[in-house]
A and B are shown apart, each in its own frame.
Chain A
Amino acid sequence: MRKIAVQINGRVVEGEVEPRLLLGDFIRDNAGLTGTHFGCEHGVCGACTVQLDGEPVRSCLMFAVQAHGRRIATVEGMAPSATELHPLQQAFHESHALQCGFCTPGILMTMEAFLRAEPDPSPERIRAALAGNLCRCTGYQNIVTGVRLAADRMK
C-alpha cells in the first residue's frame, strides 16, 4: 500500500492505495467523484478522460500512485456554481449534444482542453480532436455543433 495525495478539482484527496489501483477508481471511489465513467478500461473509448495538470489523460490507463502530487480536473469541477453551467456544458445542452450522457464527461474534459489550445477550430479540427472519444448515441453531429457554439461564446 502507498500513501498518496492528489489535488482533485482544487481539493487535496489523500489515500492509502494498492499500486495497481487505477486512477479512475481512485477518483470514483476514494474521492467519490463518479462523473468520470469507465466505458472500456483499455484506453479506447475516452469516457474516463480527466485532466492531469491541464492535459487530458485516460484515467483507466494510469495508476493512482502516478498522480501523487499532481493536479487533476474532472467534470464535477467544470461548472462555476450549482446553478450555472460552464459555457461548453451550456452549449452541449443547447445543441442536444448528448443523449444517454455516459460518454459526455470524458468528451467535455477532452474538448475543454482542446478549446484552450485551439480557441477557434474548424469543424474538421473538432472532429479530429474528438476522434478519441466514442459516443454511441449522437452520431457526433450535434457534439461538433456544440463545441463550435462554445468556441464562439468563449472568444
Chain B
Amino acid sequence: MELHGIGASPLRKEDWPLLRGEGTFIADFKRPGMVHALVVRSPFAHARFRHIDGSAALQARGVIDLITAAELPDRGRPIPTRMFKDEAANRFLQKPLADGEVRYSGEPVALLIAESRYLAEDAAELLSIDYEPLEVVLDPDAGTVAGHLVVERGNIEAAFAQADEVIKEEFRIQRHAATPLETRGLVAEFDAGAQTLTVWGAAKIPHVNRRILAQLLGWEESRIRLVELHVGGGFGARGEFYPEDFLIPFGAMRVGRPVAWIEDREESLRAMNHSREQVHRVELALKADGTFLGLKDTFVNNTGAYVRTHGMTVPGLSISMLPGPYAWPAYRGEYHSVLTNKTPCGTYRSPGRFEVNFVRERLIDIAANRLGIDKVEIRRRNFIHEFPHDTGTLFDEHPVVYDSGDYSLLLDKALEAFDYSGLKRWRAQRSPDGFKRGLGIAFFVEKAGPAEREYARVELTDSGDVTVYTGTVSLGQGMETTLAQVCSTHLGLPFERVTVKHGDTAVIPEGMGSFGSRAAMMGGAAVMGAAVKLRRRLLERAAEELEAAPDDLVLTVDGIAVRGAPSRSVPLPSMSVEDRFVCELLGFPYGIHVAAVEVDTGTGAVGVHRYAVAYDIGRAINPVIVRGQIAGGFAQGLGGVLLEEFAFDANGQPLAASFMDYLLPTSEEVPDIDMLITEDAPSPHNPLGVKGAGEGGTAAVGGAIANAVADALGVEVTQLPLSPKRITELASA
C-alpha cells in the first residue's frame, strides 16, 4: 500500500484554510453592493391572513423591497419533490411564500430586503399581518394522509398462524433533526445584461437544485450557476431546495443588487427540515426456539405541514429497511405519511433506519426476554446467509437487494474485539455508585448510493499537476482527500499533486451530489474510471513515441520513461479525460452497536460506560476519515436518543427554538467509542468495492442504548428520547 493511496490515511487536504480561519463559508462571502434579506415567518402554527400591511416597513430606514406571495410568478409555484415521488402528495407541496394561510410556526410569509440585516430586523417589527388563528393538528394519528404504501411479501397470515409467540408493541421516535452548526445561507446575483443568475451557498446537490430553480423560474438551466463554498455540515438537511432557494435569487432579480440571506439559529430550528417523528405498531411472530416467522408493522410518519423535496423518502426507507439483517419468511409493512402543523420534514443521517433499527432491535430483545433466549443467539439464529439477498422491498425504484455480507463473521469479530464476555461480567457486578447497569446490542444493515450516475474528469498539466472535477460535493466529510487518494492510486501520480474541485455548475457539467453515503461509492468509482483511462492513454501515447510496450513504462511527475532506461523518456503532455460511473444498484454495509450503560434512577441520567461500533463497509479508502465519520455519527445518534427533541405546545408553538432548549450533545455527554472497521464484504457493484461509511455510526444508537437501558431497568423501553424524565418514570414503573 502506498503512503497516500487507497487504504492509507494521509492528512486531509481540506484542513489548512479551516484551521487558519481562512475558509469561505457563505456568511464570509461578499459581493459589491450586496444587500441583506430577512425572511418574515409566521408566528402561528395555523392561521388565515388576508392582508400584509408593509407601508410602515417600506418607509423604514434602509429598506429596499418587500416581497409577498402577490409579487411571485403565479403567486409562487410549488417546490417539487426530487426523490420518492408520490403523485398523490403533490397537492401538499410547499410554495415559496404562504398565500393567505400559514400551516406551521416559521413558515415564510414575506421577504424583506434592506441595506443590512440589522435594518431588516428593525423593519420587520413594523409589518402588520391580520392573522386569524385556526385549529391546530399536531397528533400524527389525526393528521391528513399525504402518502400511503403497503409492502407485502410471503404469506403473512400463515406466518402468524404458525407462531408459538407473538410480540406486539408500539414504539415512538421523537422529532429531531440534523442541525448542522453552520446555519443555511445564500448570496444571489442577477446579471441583467446577460440575463443570468449566480447563486453561492449551494450544498449537497447543486446540479439538482439548479434544475429545480430553472423550473420554478421557467428558465433554461444554462442561465443559472450554483456555487458551493465551504459548507458547515449537512447531515441530510442542508442543501435541499427550500423556499429561500427560490426567494433569494428572485429577490436579487427584483432589486437588481446582490442579495445575501444568512439564517439565524432560531429560524433554522423552525425552518430547516425536521425528521424522525414516527409511531410504529408492530408485531413479531416467532417459534419457541426463537426462529422468526413474520414481521408486521403499521406506522405513521409525521411529515409536518408540507411535503418537501424528499417526498416519501423517510417512510419509504423505513418500510424498506425495517427487515434488517434477518431472514423473514413473511413481511408486511404499511405506512401513512401525514401532515400536521409542524415544520416540514426531510432526511437526517441514516433516515428511516435510525427509526426502524430502534423498533426492530428493541422488539427482538423483548422477544428474547419473553422466550428466555440469549440476545446474541436470537439474532445469530435468524441472520441472512445467502447473498445477494432480495428483501422484496424497494428504495425508490431500486430493488433492495443486499449485495454482499457475512453477518455471523462480523458478529464473532465484534464480540471478541469489544470483549463482550468482559462486558457481561461488568454488567453482572454491582455499580459502586448504586447505578443500574445494562448491556445492549443492535445489529443493522445500512444502505449506500446510488442516485444512479456520477461524473468525473481528471486533468493533467505538462508540469505534473492533476485536477479532479467531481459531481459530488463536500459537506465537511473529507471527500476531497478521499477522491484525491483514489485518483493518485489509479493514475499513479503523487497525492500531493492532486487537487479536487467540486460544486460549481459552471465548471462541472453534471453531478448528483453528496448524500446517502454515495460520494465515495459513486464519486470514487467515477474518479477511478477517469484516472484509469487517463493513465492508459498517457502510457499508450508514450509507448508509441518511445517504441516500447506500455507495461515497460514508468509514469512520474517528471515524465514517462522506459523502465531501467531513464534517458529514454518523454515529458508529460497536458491531457484531460472524463468518465461517468453508472450503477442502478445500492451497496448495503452492515454493522453492530454495543452499548454498556449505567442508569442513575435518582436523576434519570444515562451514563455511557462503553460504546462500540463494528462496521463492514466493503473497503475503507481512508480509515481515519471512516472512523471520524463513525464517531461523529454516533454523537448525533446519542443526541437523538438522550437529548434532542423538537417539542411543541398545544398551539403548535415550538418549545425548542434555541440551543438552550434544543440540546446538542457536548464533549461531556459523548464518550470515546471503540471501532472495528472490516472489509470482509466488498460491494460487487463498483470497482472500488466500497459501500459508503457515513451513516452507520448513527444507524443503531437508538436500538443499542434503548436495549441497554431496558436491560438495566428491567422494563421495556418503547419511546425515545430517553430523557431524565422518561428514565425516572420507567424506573418507578
Contact = CB atoms under 8 A, between A and B. Distances in A.
A154 interface: no
B3 to A, nearest CB: 15
Contacts of B485: none
Interface in B10-30: 11-12, 14-16, 18-25, 27-28
Interface string A36-54: 1111111011010000000
A26 interface: no
Nearest to B668: A131
Nearest to B14: A101
B24, B232, B635 interface centre (most CB from chain A within 10 Å): B232
Interface stretch (B463-471, B599-607, B657-665): B657-665
Given A89-B19, A100-B475, A138-B628, A127 B27 contact: no
A114 interface: no
A99 B182 contact: no
Interface string B480-514: 00000000000000000000000000000000000
Nearest to A100: B476
Given A94-B11, A96-B625, A85 B181 contact: no
Nearest to B24: A34
B377 to A, nearest CB: 31
Contact of B658 (A40, A108, A128): A40
B53 interface: no
Interface in A41-96: 41-42, 44-45, 47, 74-76, 78-79, 85, 89, 92-94, 96
A113 to B, nearest CB: 16
Given A96-B12, A136-B233, A141-B631, A39 B667 contact: no
Given A141-B672, A142-B628, A136 B15 contact: no
Contacts of B179: 136
A142 B631 contact: yes
Interface string B173-184: 000000111110
Interface string B633-649: 11110000000000000
Contacts of A34: 21, 24-25, 27-28
B438 interface: no
Nearest to B19: A89
Contacts of B667: 126-128, 130-131, 133, 135, 140, 143-144
B20 A75 contact: yes
Contacts of A79: 19-20
A99 B631 CA distance: 11
A72 to B, nearest CB: 13
Interface of B: 11-12, 14-16, 18-25, 27-28, 118, 179-183, 230-233, 235, 264-265, 475-478, 624-625, 627-628, 631-636, 658-660, 664, 666-668, 670, 672-673, 697
Nearest to B638: A139
B21 A33 contact: yes
B265 A104 contact: no
Interface of A: 18, 20-21, 28, 33-42, 44-45, 47, 74-76, 78-79, 85, 89, 92-94, 96, 98-105, 108, 126-128, 130-144
Contacts of B668: 127-128, 131
16 contacts: A34-B25, A35-B21, A35-B23, A42-B658, A75-B21, A93-B19, A96-B11, A98-B18, A100-B18, A100-B232, A101-B230, A108-B19, A136-B179, A138-B628, A139-B632, A144-B672
Nearest to B268: A40
Contacts of A130: 666-667
Contact of B181 (A45, A92, A96, A128): A45
B23 A101 contact: yes
Nearest to A44: B659
A74 B21 CA distance: 9
B681 to A, nearest CB: 25
Nearest to B639: A136
B467 to A, nearest CB: 22
Contact of A105 (B16, B21, B672): B21
Nearest to A22: B118
A40 B269 CA distance: 10
Which 6 pairs, one residue from A and one from B, show the smallest C-beta to C-beta distance?
Answer: A35-B21, A100-B476, A101-B18, A102-B232, A139-B635, A75-B21
B632 A137 contact: yes
Contacts of B24: 34
B659 A93 contact: no
B624 to A, nearest CB: 5
Contacts of A105: 21
Given A35-B23, A47-B181, A141-B673, A104 B264 contact: no
Contacts of A41: 264-265
B659 A40 contact: yes
Nearest to B635: A139
A100 B233 contact: yes
A47 B21 CA distance: 12
A85 B19 contact: yes
Nearest to A93: B15
A96 B180 contact: no
Contacts of A35: 20-23
B181, B183, B233, B235 interface centre (most CB from chain A within 10 Å): B181
Nearest to A108: B19
B658 A44 contact: yes
A105 B476 CA distance: 15
A104 B264 CA distance: 19
A92 B232 CA distance: 17
A18 B235 CA distance: 37
A73 B183 CA distance: 24
A94 B16 CA distance: 11
A21 B477 CA distance: 34
Contacts of A132: 666
Contact of B118 (A20, A36, A75): A20
A104 B28 CA distance: 15
Contacts of A141: 631, 670, 672-673
Given A39-B181, A94-B11, A137-B233, 15 more contacts: A20-B118, A21-B118, A28-B28, A37-B232, A39-B182, A39-B183, A42-B660, A44-B659, A96-B624, A108-B19, A128-B667, A137-B181, A138-B628, A138-B632, A140-B667
Contacts of B633: 139
A142 B670 CA distance: 12
A39 B11 contact: no
Nearest to A75: B21
A137 B694 CA distance: 11
Contacts of B27: 28, 34, 37-38
B87 to A, nearest CB: 36
Contacts of B673: 139, 141
Given A35-B20, A89-B20, A136 B664 contact: yes
Contact of A136 (B22, B181, B660): B181
Nearest to B15: A93
A134 B659 contact: yes
A70 to B, nearest CB: 20
Contacts of B628: 96, 99, 137-138, 142
A80 to B, nearest CB: 11
B587 to A, nearest CB: 22
A100 B181 contact: yes
A127 B670 CA distance: 9
A142 B627 CA distance: 10
Contacts of B660: 42, 44
A134 B666 contact: yes
Contacts of B25: 34, 37, 102
B18 A104 contact: yes
A27 to B, nearest CB: 10
Contacts of B182: 37, 39, 100, 102
Contacts of A103: 181
Contacts of A78: 20-21
